[in-house]
Amino acid sequence: MSIQFNILTLFPDMFPGSLGQSLSGKALERRDWSYEAINIRDFAQGVHKNVDDTPYGGGAGMVMRADLIEKATLSIEKPGRKIYLSPRGTPLTQALVKELASTPALTLLCGRYEGVDQRVLDAQDFEEVSIGDYVLSGGEPAALILMDACIRLLPGVMGNETTPDEESFSNGLLEYPHYTRPDEWAAADGNVHKVPEILKSGDHAKIKAWREEEALKITKKRRPDLLK
């Protein structure tokens, strides 16, 4: 299973960015995933190749033009699911990531300025997805985050480095705490911190139960909304 990302952007050089490194970089070399960054400006005409214009109704900022985004979108052979990264979109959750990671192709539209003309979102059936309740200056970092979250779920990408079923959000909880050697660690303030005894017991059933309890505790404390 592999996934093709088609990225509609004014800044194609931002890709693959950090995804060209580490495990996602190796997966890219293996072609477990691939991408094409399509420069929306290439579809503009005239000396200035303008991609934006002033907003109807007035107000600050500029709006990306519908006609150019449509042309850029139609140039994609297999667009798959079309997503506009947007702060007003559906929140990107692990459940949505799992769904997206199992599709063969995704088209990711990265906005700039005040955003894009609503008409092309409607005409081309773009879904809107947000990476959180804050405003970025452009959709590219949001696209990279969405891509990262999908790529690491592709078979073979993470190797033995993770167990997706036990990670935060996979079962509706945050993850339990981790510890590694040494089992007694003296911090700079002189306090000695020990690894919980149960984790050294070798009793897998008890360790599992302890981890479940810790996951529940931390979720209740930090993200009670996940338990609703």
- By CB under 6 A, the count of residues binding ligand SAM is 19
Task: Report residue 183: phi and psi, to 5°.
Answer: -75, -15
Shortest distance, CB of residue 64 to ligand SAM, whole angstroms? 8
- Residue 9 Ramachandran class (φ > 0 left, ψ -120 to 50 alpha, else beta): beta
Shortest distance, CB of residue 130 to ligand SAM, whole angstroms? 4
Q: How far, rounded to the nearest angstrom, does the alpha carbon of residue 150 sit from its chain's CA centroid?
A: 7
- H-assigned helices in the chain: 22-29, 66-74, 94-101, 118-123, 140-151, 204-222
Pairing relationship of beta strands 192-194 and 184-186 according to DSSP bridges: antiparallel
- Of the two residues 13 and 133, which places its CB atom closer to ligand SAM in the complex? 133
| Chain residue at closest Cβ approach to ligand SAM | 111
Instruction: Report, in this order, helix, strand and coil percent for the chain, each rounded to 5.
Output: 35, 20, 45
- Of the two residues 11 and 169, which places its CB atom closer to ligand SAM in the complex? 11
- Of the two residues 131 and 153, which places its CB atom closer to ligand SAM in the complex? 131
- Of the two residues 131 and 215, which places its CB atom closer to ligand SAM in the complex? 131
Shortest distance, CB of residue 49 to ligand SAM, whole angstroms? 19
Window 74 to 113, contacts with ligand SAM (CB under 6 A)? 85-88, 110-112
Shortest distance, CB of residue 142 to ligand SAM, whole angstroms? 4
Window 131 to 160, contacts with ligand SAM (CB under 6 A)? 131-132, 134-139, 142
- What whole-number distance in Å separates Cα of residue 184 and Cα of residue 213? 23
- H-assigned helices in 20-166: 22-29, 66-74, 94-101, 118-123, 140-151
- Of the two residues 69 and 215, which places its CB atom closer to ligand SAM in the complex? 69
Binding residues for ligand SAM (CB under 6 A): 85-88, 110-112, 114-115, 130-132, 134-139, 142
